[in-house]
């Protein structure tokens, strides 16, 4: 079944190529892109069944030599965490394409170019999660920036140039520092083995035995890259700009998928390669994580722009994920990984719903809306559901993960956990307040009333406009329902029965913790 | 009488290994023939004949080189012409690099489709703004002196990287520099800038040569010989005055760093890059860099390896200064050519890192890494300048950055190629620029220069900003209504740009072949 993984890498690239030739015909481009992304989804489904949770650490591995002089190989394989992430990418991309179906691109831009970049982004991101060669990982980590740079810069809002360059430079700098560490690890391996290699498994063996000073330096190089990517406070400032300026589908990809590379990298690279340093530096990382939870929550509460709001919500969530990872218990680890998945789904859904709101009002300012549930009850319900899963209401998918993170972190890190719990309260505040301002009360706001007035330029007064808007602002269309329906199903399904996902994740998290060499207090207690 | 005969018998003619130095002889010989053709042929025939001769020369030189490289030859290389020229593996690699990059540059130089009559005027010294000046600027007959001048410069460069003693090196330095000074002053457009460039380059270059020569003199005083190996032996274990050695080394290196445009000896670079005709800028940026760093590598590894702990700190500092100057001043540039000039200063800093990555055990990972970097950087630069020469308005090249706004809308292919080249200069993976940086930095880490590598990485990130700025302009800005047009390039420029871009891509994807080749053998000592 190795071919499935390779096909997952190749199919979107072929799709991108085909779509790039359809720049003249927007409709055909959209259909072809959607078809390729659905094929990718089917392949991801096959991958899920091909993966054996109790099997090897890295499965479906395959590879060929690339640069023999440095022992670099094109080498791919997945563990449970990578599998989950690849699945969620494959799930979100068709939804993103569907959600952007009627979105108007800036003048002179074609759907063909846009969708082609999205498919390239999909392929490269799958590659980042599937790479098992550190050099290859770095290469894809940096290459991943290029399509995103053009997506934000070419198709975004007013300050897109600034946002695109900022996004690129932050990640590029982080990546370069990581490269220095990777070369350091390579140099150690070539000293020890007599022949250099970038193979992940080999490097884990070699580097994890290094003395703690060396580990600390190498750890910091990798950590900076992942902390920028994830993003942890104070390396987060690119995200609100990128999220606010990107078109809504791209925001889903940035927040829902790309950011996960950061936390994935922590689990796959930081912990196994530098166990000593990870343990020593964990308190500092946890300070950043908890700071992220509080800072992100507070700033989300204060945002006036919905897209920036989404970015800060994510920053808070990444604080939780990092808390779980650096608590070194299997419950918290499993919680973090499932949080990575659930964050993609619930925040992805929230972004898509917010995108639908913005598509109706033409503004991303919260103050431009009000009382929308009167004209769009279904949309309002979806925003509430997406909001509730974002604040981790029991019965939704995120609850399971957030609960696991907190309960798993408490035994080892009680103080941090207690502080982070405040974030849950703030989450209720910012989500419900957002819902209240946009959806409830009398119909108001420039975007809603203005949109109606704009359509009837001869309307004599505002009161007529208020009547007219009922026809101007419609409820969810069939297409939008089709986009949101799968997410609703998954949110509820994983909320009530998360076991299939947890089964896939648990062995990998267990293996990661074994590589770190911590005895898991929770498991020990259960053993007694 | 008998005495004289006896003395004459004692002087033996040096043994000449013709096979080894054939490429050098071909290039210099063809340069002489080319001068004769210039004198003898009628004017309308010159361009075609000179071009064919030059290209054939380069192909022939590469051919003879391959013939020699694949034949039975001593593993460690041969020293010929009484030890003045060392033909070893690095020499051969650098020769091929120079010849192929020279080939690309000659294609750019020969192009007449972009600028009617080529990018050159006949006389560099006519005062700008005068009647004669305007007359020669509008004359469309291509001036063909540039071909022999280029060949001489190339011959000088090849000698420079193979020079085994400092005097040969100095002569080669002059042979490569003098034609370049002249070529810089020949731009058809913006004559004043071009003349300024030539004068500036000449004056500063003359200074640098003087430094170099003074250094040679001091080193001769120290070692009693100008041979690189003799200096190494002398430095290996004597009680001679170190003052002479290090003063000599310092002066010598200043001369070399000047040619390589390493900061803080870079002051000429932006002005000369901007003022020189663009094909010549491409030639200088690619080939002079290769020659200068080839010389630096040889001098450092052959003559001064034993004393590396004394000088490494100094060059360490120079590399930092160069990277910082290149990256930070590059941010403030508004002219494409000046921007690439500052980028070349930053790249020179990276190259210097590779050049000083010597390990005490004597295996020098930096040598092959630096040579690979030179090859990769040369191709990228030639293609980049090729594209700069295409974007024009009525005043010639539109090099001001604001004029590049929205270029992608009008010329998507040119913009995409330039973007790719800029990403290569920034060192993004899947380009040769990245592999180059990677090999240099890993060599440096192996040689214990980790802090320097971290500084270099930060500098790369800063430098990435100004490359990105150009991409932003081309893709995300709206074109100016009176913006420049992109000339459809003729066959020569197209081939040169394609060659550069393809090599940049191929070396980014499959660098193994060239890496292996750069890694065979070391300098003859």
Picking from B426, B445, B465, the nearest residue to A183 by CB comes out as B445
Question: Please, what's the b/e burial string for A102-123 (b: 16 or more CB within 10 A of its CB; e: otherwise)?
Answer: eeeeeeeebbbbbbbbbbbbbb
Q: Are A345 and A239 in contact (CB under 8 A)?
A: no
For A137-160, what is each residue's pLDDT tens digit?
999 999 999 999 999 988 888 888
Q: Does A361 touch chain B (CB under 8 A)?
A: no
Answer yes or no: is pLDDT of B176 > 70: yes
CA of B467: which chain A residue's CA is closest?
A165
Residue B362: the pLDDT is 63
CA A231 to chain centre: 10
A169 and B446 within 8 Å at the Cβ level: the answer is: no
Residue linked to tokens 């719903």: A353
Neighboring chain B residues of A154 at a CB cutoff of 8 Å: 475-476
For residues A265 and A129, what is the distance between their CA atoms, to the nearest angstrom?
9
Mean pLDDT value of segment B396-416: 87
Is B10 within the bounds of a domain? no
3-state SS assignment for residue A440? coil
For residues A168 and A174, what is the distance between their CA atoms, to the nearest angstrom?
10
Answer yes or no: is pLDDT of A472 > 70: no
- B43 vs B152, more confident: B152
Is B5 within the bounds of a domain? no
B438 and A180 within 8 Å at the Cβ level: the answer is: no
B441 and A68 within 8 Å at the Cβ level: the answer is: no
Mean pLDDT value of segment B425-438: 93
Neighboring chain B residues of A165 at a CB cutoff of 8 Å: 465, 468-469, 472
The pLDDT confidence band at residue A451, using thresholds 50, 70 and 90, is low
The domain total for chain B is 1
Question: Please, what's the b/e burial string for B101-136 (b: 16 or more CB within 10 A of its CB; e: otherwise)?
Answer: bbbbbbbbbbbbebbebbbbbeebebeeeeeebeeb
Residue B241: the pLDDT is 79
CA A374 to chain centre: 32
Interface test with B, best of A21, A64, A69, A246 (most B CBs within 10 A): A69
For a pLDDT cut of 70, what percent of chain A falls above it?
94
Neighboring chain B residues of A139 at a CB cutoff of 8 Å: 429-430, 434
B458 and A176 within 8 Å at the Cβ level: the answer is: yes
Residue A525: the pLDDT is 40
Picking from B430, B446, B454, the nearest residue to A187 by CB comes out as B446
Radius of gyration of chain A (CA): 23
The residues that bridge with B163 in the sheet, in sequence order, are B85
For A385-402, what is each residue's pLDDT tens digit?
999 999 999 999 999 999
Task: Single out the residue of A357, A290, A346, A293 nearest to residue A495, CA to CA.
Answer: A346
Residue A459: the pLDDT is 41
The pLDDT confidence band at residue A290, using thresholds 50, 70 and 90, is very high
Q: Are A117 and A147 in contact (CB under 8 A)?
A: yes
Residue linked to tokens 């291509």: B142
Alpha-carbon distance A215 to nearest alpha carbon in chain B (angstroms): 14
Enumerate chain B positions whose Cβ falls within 8 A of a Cβ in A.
Answer: 409, 423, 426, 428-430, 434-435, 438-439, 441-442, 445-446, 450, 453-454, 457-458, 460-461, 464-465, 468-469, 471-472, 475-477, 510-512, 515-516, 519
For residues A124 and A76, what is the distance between their CA atoms, to the nearest angstrom?
12
Residue B518: the pLDDT is 87
Alpha-carbon distance B8 to nearest alpha carbon in chain A (angstroms): 53
Q: Does A162 touch chain B (CB under 8 A)?
A: no
The pLDDT confidence band at residue B8, using thresholds 50, 70 and 90, is low
Residue B141: the pLDDT is 67
For residues B135 and B287, what is the distance between their CA atoms, to the nearest angstrom?
32
Q: Does A68 touch chain B (CB under 8 A)?
A: yes
The pLDDT confidence band at residue B361, using thresholds 50, 70 and 90, is low
A183 and B454 within 8 Å at the Cβ level: the answer is: no
- B525 vs A299, more confident: A299
Q: Does A422 touch chain B (CB under 8 A)?
A: no
B476 and A164 within 8 Å at the Cβ level: the answer is: yes
Residue A13: domain span: 2-527
CA of B442: which chain A residue's CA is closest?
A183
Neighboring chain A residues of B428 at a CB cutoff of 8 Å: 142-143, 145-146, 172
Residue A271: the pLDDT is 92
φ, ψ of residue A188 to 5 degrees: the values are: -65, -45
For a pLDDT cut of 70, what percent of chain B falls above it?
97
Residue B252: the pLDDT is 95
Is B512 within the bounds of a domain? yes
Q: Which two tokens stand for residue A379?
A: 């949309």
Answer yes or no: is pLDDT of A458 > 50: no
Answer yes or no: is pLDDT of B4 > 60: yes
For residues A219 and A227, what is the distance between their CA atoms, to the nearest angstrom?
12
For a pLDDT cut of 90, what percent of chain B falls above it?
63
3-state SS assignment for residue A95? helix
Residue linked to tokens 């269309």: A477
**Greatest CA separation found in chain A?**
84
Task: Give the H or E element holding residue A443.
Answer: none
The pLDDT confidence band at residue A215, using thresholds 50, 70 and 90, is very high
B441 and A179 within 8 Å at the Cβ level: the answer is: yes
Answer yes or no: is pLDDT of B356 > 70: yes
Which region among A344-353, B229-238, B283-292 has the lowest average model confidence (pLDDT)?
B229-238
Answer yes or no: is pLDDT of B374 > 60: yes
Q: Does A183 touch chain B (CB under 8 A)?
A: yes
The pLDDT confidence band at residue A445, using thresholds 50, 70 and 90, is confident
A176 and B457 within 8 Å at the Cβ level: the answer is: yes
B429 and A161 within 8 Å at the Cβ level: the answer is: no
Q: Does A213 touch chain B (CB under 8 A)?
A: no
What does pLDDT average to over chain A? 89
Neighboring chain B residues of A187 at a CB cutoff of 8 Å: 442, 445-446
Mean pLDDT value of segment A39-63: 92
- C-alpha atoms less than 13 angstroms from C-alpha of A29 in its C-beta half-sphere: 24
Which region among A2-6, A255-259, B172-176, B307-311 has the lowest average model confidence (pLDDT)?
B307-311
Residue linked to tokens 């934000």: A152
Is B1 within the bounds of a domain? no
Residue linked to tokens 């003022």: B275
What does DSSP assign to residue A72?
E
Picking from A142, A150, A180, the nearest residue to B454 by CB comes out as A180
Helix residue spans in B185-264 (DSSP H): 191-223, 228-236, 242-259
Q: Are B214 and B249 in contact (CB under 8 A)?
A: no
Picking from A67, A153, A173, the nearest residue to B461 by CB comes out as A173
What does pLDDT average to over chain B? 90
Alpha-carbon distance A139 to nearest alpha carbon in chain B (angstroms): 5
For residues A61 and A190, what is the distance between their CA atoms, to the nearest angstrom?
23
Answer yes or no: is pLDDT of B225 > 70: yes
For residues A73 and B94, what is the distance between their CA atoms, to the nearest angstrom?
28
3-state SS assignment for residue A44? helix
Interface test with A, best of B461, B466, B515 (most A CBs within 10 A): B461
Residue B294: the pLDDT is 95
Exposed/middle/buried for B369, CB within 10 Å: 0-12, 13-18, 19+? buried
Exposed/middle/buried for B12, CB within 10 Å: 0-12, 13-18, 19+? exposed
Helix residue spans in A62-211 (DSSP H): 80-99, 111-130, 134-143, 145-155, 160-193, 200-207
The pairing of strands B396-397 and A59-67 is unpaired
Q: Which two tokens stand for residue B352?
A: 């210097």
Question: Please, what's the b/e burial string for B241-264 (b: 16 or more CB within 10 A of its CB; e: otherwise)?
Answer: eeebbbbbbebbbbbbbbbbbbbe
Residue linked to tokens 């051919």: B63
For residues B343 and B337, what is the distance between their CA atoms, to the nearest angstrom?
10
Answer yes or no: is pLDDT of B393 > 60: yes
**What are the CA-CA distances from residue B121 to residues B116, B395, B489 (Å)?**
11, 16, 20
Q: Are B315 and B352 in contact (CB under 8 A)?
A: yes
As a three-state string, the secondary structure of B446-466 is: HCCCHHHHHHHHHHHHHHHHH
Residue linked to tokens 């990245």: B434
Task: Single out the residue of A334, A293, A356, A302 nearest to residue A487, CA to CA.
Answer: A356
Q: Does A67 touch chain B (CB under 8 A)?
A: yes
Residue A517: the pLDDT is 81
Picking from B464, B472, B515, the nearest residue to A172 by CB comes out as B464
Neighboring chain B residues of A142 at a CB cutoff of 8 Å: 428-429, 434
Answer yes or no: is pLDDT of B363 > 80: no
Exposed/middle/buried for B397, CB within 10 Å: 0-12, 13-18, 19+? buried
End-to-end CA distance of chain B: 40
Answer yes or no: is pLDDT of B77 > 70: yes
Q: Which two tokens stand for residue B518?
A: 């750069």
Is B525 within the bounds of a domain? no
End-to-end CA distance of chain A: 40
Percentages of chain B per state (helix, strand, coil), in multiples of 5: 70, 5, 25
Task: Single out the residue of B157, B165, B371, B440 nearest to residue B283, CA to CA.
Answer: B157
Residue A468: the pLDDT is 45
Q: Does A187 touch chain B (CB under 8 A)?
A: yes
CA of B423: which chain A residue's CA is closest?
A146
Answer yes or no: is pLDDT of A412 > 80: yes
DSSP string, B393-449: ETTEE--BGGGGTTHHHH-HHHHHHHHHHHHHHHT-TTSHHHHHHHHHHHHHHHTT-
Q: Are B358 and B447 in contact (CB under 8 A)?
A: yes
- C-alpha atoms less than 13 angstroms from C-alpha of B430 in its C-beta half-sphere: 14
Task: Single out the residue of A188, A307, A183 nearest to residue A250, CA to CA.
Answer: A307
Answer yes or no: is pLDDT of B453 > 60: yes
**Greatest CA separation found in chain B?**
87
Neighboring chain A residues of B476 at a CB cutoff of 8 Å: 153-154, 160-161, 164
For residues A378 and B334, what is the distance between their CA atoms, to the nearest angstrom?
53
DSSP string, B168-200: HHHHHHHHHHHHHHHHHTTBSSSHHHHHHHHHH
Neighboring chain A residues of B461 at a CB cutoff of 8 Å: 169, 172-173, 176
Residue A404: the pLDDT is 93
Q: Which two tokens stand for residue A288?
A: 């950043």
CA A344 to chain centre: 5
Q: Does A220 touch chain B (CB under 8 A)?
A: no
Alpha-carbon distance B151 to nearest alpha carbon in chain A (angstroms): 35
Which region among A345-349, B357-361, B428-432 has the lowest average model confidence (pLDDT)?
B357-361
Is B524 within the bounds of a domain? no
Residue linked to tokens 């509080």: A294
B441 and A184 within 8 Å at the Cβ level: the answer is: no
Residue A104: the pLDDT is 79
CA A10 to chain centre: 22
The pLDDT confidence band at residue B488, using thresholds 50, 70 and 90, is confident
- C-alpha atoms less than 13 angstroms from C-alpha of A320 in its C-beta half-sphere: 35
A161 and B472 within 8 Å at the Cβ level: the answer is: yes
B464 and A184 within 8 Å at the Cβ level: the answer is: no
B445 and A187 within 8 Å at the Cβ level: the answer is: yes
Mean pLDDT value of segment B198-227: 94
- B78 vs B154, more confident: B154
Neighboring chain B residues of A13 at a CB cutoff of 8 Å: none
Mean pLDDT value of segment B193-213: 94
Residue B71: the pLDDT is 87
Mean pLDDT value of segment A369-379: 88
Phi-psi bin for B77: left (phi > 0), alpha (psi -120 to 50), beta?
Answer: left
A69 and B464 within 8 Å at the Cβ level: the answer is: no
- C-alpha atoms less than 13 angstroms from C-alpha of A430 in its C-beta half-sphere: 31
The domain total for chain A is 1
Task: Single out the residue of A97, A156, A157 nearest to residue A121, CA to CA.
Answer: A97
Answer yes or no: is pLDDT of B12 > 80: no
Residue B358: domain span: 15-519
The pLDDT confidence band at residue B279, using thresholds 50, 70 and 90, is very high
- Kindly report the number of other CB atoms within 10 A of residue A338's CB atom: 28
Answer yes or no: is pLDDT of B11 > 90: no
Q: Are B252 and B215 in contact (CB under 8 A)?
A: yes
């Amino acid at each position: 079944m190795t071919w499935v993984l390779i096909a997952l890498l190749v199919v979107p690239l072929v799709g991108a190529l085909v779509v790039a030739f359809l720049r003249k015909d927007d409709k055909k481009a959209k259909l072809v892109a959607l078809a390729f992304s659905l094929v990718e989804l089917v392949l991801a489904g096959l991958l899920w069944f091909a993966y054996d949770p109790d099997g090897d650490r890295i499965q479906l591995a395959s590879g060929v030599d690339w640069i023999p002089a440095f022992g670099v190989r094109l080498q791919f394989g997945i563990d449970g965490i990578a599998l989950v992430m690849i699945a969620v990418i494959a799930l979100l991309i068709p939804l993103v394409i569907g959600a952007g179906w009627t979105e108007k691109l800036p003048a002179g831009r074609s759907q063909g170019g846009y969708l082609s970049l999205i498919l390239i982004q999909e392929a490269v991101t799958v590659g980042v999660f599937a790479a098992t060669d550190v050099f290859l990982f770095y290469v894809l980590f940096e290459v991943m920036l290029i399509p995103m740079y053009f997506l934000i810069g070419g198709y975004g809002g007013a300050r897109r140039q600034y946002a695109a360059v900022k996004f690129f430079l932050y990640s590029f700098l982080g990546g370069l520092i990581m490269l220095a560490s990777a070369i350091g690890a390579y140099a150690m391996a070539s000293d020890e083995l007599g022949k250099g290699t970038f193979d992940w498994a080999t490097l884990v063996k070699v580097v994890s035995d290094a003395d703690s000073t060396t580990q600390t330096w190498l750890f910091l190089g990798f950590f900076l890259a992942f902390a920028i990517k994830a993003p942890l406070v104070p390396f987060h400032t690119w995200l609100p700009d990128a999220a606010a300026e990107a078109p809504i589908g791209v925001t889903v990809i940035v927040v829902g998928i790309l950011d996960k590379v950061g936390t994935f990298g922590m689990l796959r690279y930081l912990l196994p390669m530098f166990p000593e340093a990870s343990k020593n530096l964990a308190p500092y990382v946890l300070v950043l994580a908890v700071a992220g939870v509080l800072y992100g929550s507070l700033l989300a509460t204060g945002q006036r722009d919905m897209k920036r709001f989404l970015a800060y919500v994510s920053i808070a969530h990444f604080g939780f994920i990092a808390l779980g990872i650096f608590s070194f218990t299997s419950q918290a680890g499993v919680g973090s990984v499932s949080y990575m998945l659930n964050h993609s789904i619930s925040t992805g859904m929230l972004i898509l719903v917010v995108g639908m709101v913005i598509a109706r009002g033409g503004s991303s300012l919260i103050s431009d809306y009000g009382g929308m549930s009167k004209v769009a009850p279904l949309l309002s319900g979806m925003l509430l559901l997406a909001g509730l899963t974002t604040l981790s209401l029991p019965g939704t998918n995120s609850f399971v993960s957030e609960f696991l993170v907190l309960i798993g972190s408490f035994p080892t890190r009680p103080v941090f956990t207690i502080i982070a719990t405040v974030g849950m309260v703030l989450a209720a505040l910012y989500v419900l307040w957002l819902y209240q301002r946009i959806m409830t009360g009398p119909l108001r706001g420039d975007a809603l009333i203005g949109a109606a007035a704009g359509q009837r330029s001869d309307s004599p007064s505002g009161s007529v406009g208020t009547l007219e808007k009922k026809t101007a602002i419609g409820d969810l269309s069939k297409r939008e329902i089709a986009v949101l329906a799968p997410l609703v199903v998954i949110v509820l399904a994983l909320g009530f029965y998360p076991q299939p996902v947890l089964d896939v994740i648990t062995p990998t998290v267990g293996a990661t913790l074994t590589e770190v060499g911590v005895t898991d207090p929770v498991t020990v207690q259960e053993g007694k | 009488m008998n005495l004289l005969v006896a003395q004459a018998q004692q002087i033996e003619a040096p043994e000449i290994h013709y096979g080894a130095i054939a490429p050098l002889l071909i290039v210099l010989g063809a340069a002489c023939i080319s001068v004769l053709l210039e004198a003898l042929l009628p004017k309308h025939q010159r361009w075609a004949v000179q071009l064919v001769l030059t290209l054939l020369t380069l192909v022939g030189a590469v051919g003879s080189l391959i013939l020699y490289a694949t034949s039975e030859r001593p593993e460690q290389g041969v020293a010929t012409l009484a030890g003045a020229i060392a033909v070893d593996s690095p020499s051969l690699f650098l020769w091929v690099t120079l010849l192929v990059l020279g080939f690309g540059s000659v294609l750019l130089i020969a192009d007449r489709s972009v600028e009617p009559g080529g990018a050159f005027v006949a006389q560099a010294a006519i005062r700008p703004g005068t009647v004669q000046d305007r007359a020669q600027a509008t004359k469309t007959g291509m001036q063909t002196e540039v071909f022999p001048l280029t060949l001489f410069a190339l011959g000088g460069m090849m000698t420079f990287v193979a020079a085994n003693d400092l005097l040969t090196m100095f002569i080669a330095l002059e042979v490569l520099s003098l034609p370049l000074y002249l070529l810089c002053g020949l731009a058809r457009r913006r004559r004043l800038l071009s003349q300024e460039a030539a004068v500036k380059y000449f004056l500063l270059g003359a200074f640098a040569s003087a430094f170099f020569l003074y250094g040679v003199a001091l080193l001769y005083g120290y070692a009693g010989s100008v041979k690189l190996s003799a200096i190494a032996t002398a430095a290996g274990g004597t009680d001679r005055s170190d003052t002479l050695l290090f003063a000599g080394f310092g002066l010598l290196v200043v001369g070399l760093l000047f040619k390589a445009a390493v900061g803080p000896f870079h002051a000429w670079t932006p002005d000369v890059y901007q003022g020189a005709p663009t094909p010549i800028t491409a030639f200088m940026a690619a080939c002079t860099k290769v020659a200068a760093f080839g010389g630096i590598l040889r001098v450092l590894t052959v003559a001064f390896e034993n004393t590396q702990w004394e000088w490494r700190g100094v060059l360490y500092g120079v590399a930092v200064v160069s990277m910082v100057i290149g990256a930070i001043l590059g941010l403030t540039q508004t002219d494409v050519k000046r921007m690439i000039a500052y980028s070349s200063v930053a790249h020179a800093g990276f190259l210097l890192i590779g050049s000083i990555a010597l390990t005490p055990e004597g295996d020098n990972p930096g040598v092959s890494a630096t040579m690979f970097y030179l090859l990769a950087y040369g191709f990228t630069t030639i293609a980049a300048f090729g594209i700069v020469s295409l974007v024009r308005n009525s005043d010639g090249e539109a090099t001001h950055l604001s004029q590049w706004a929205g270029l992608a809308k009008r010329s998507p292919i040119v913009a995409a190629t330039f973007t790719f080249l800029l990403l290569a200069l920034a060192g993004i993976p899947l380009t040769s620029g990245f592999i180059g940086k990677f090999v240099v930095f890993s060599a440096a880490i192996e040689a214990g220069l980790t802090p320097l590598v971290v500084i270099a990485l930060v500098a790369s990130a800063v430098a990435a900003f100004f490359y990105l700025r150009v991409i932003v302009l081309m893709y995300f800005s709206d074109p100016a209504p009176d913006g420049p047009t992109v000339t459809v390039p003729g066959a020569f420029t197209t081939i040169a740009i394609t060659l550069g871009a393809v090599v940049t891509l191929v070396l980014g994807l499959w660098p193994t072949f060239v890496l292996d080749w750069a890694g065979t053998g070391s300098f003859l000592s």
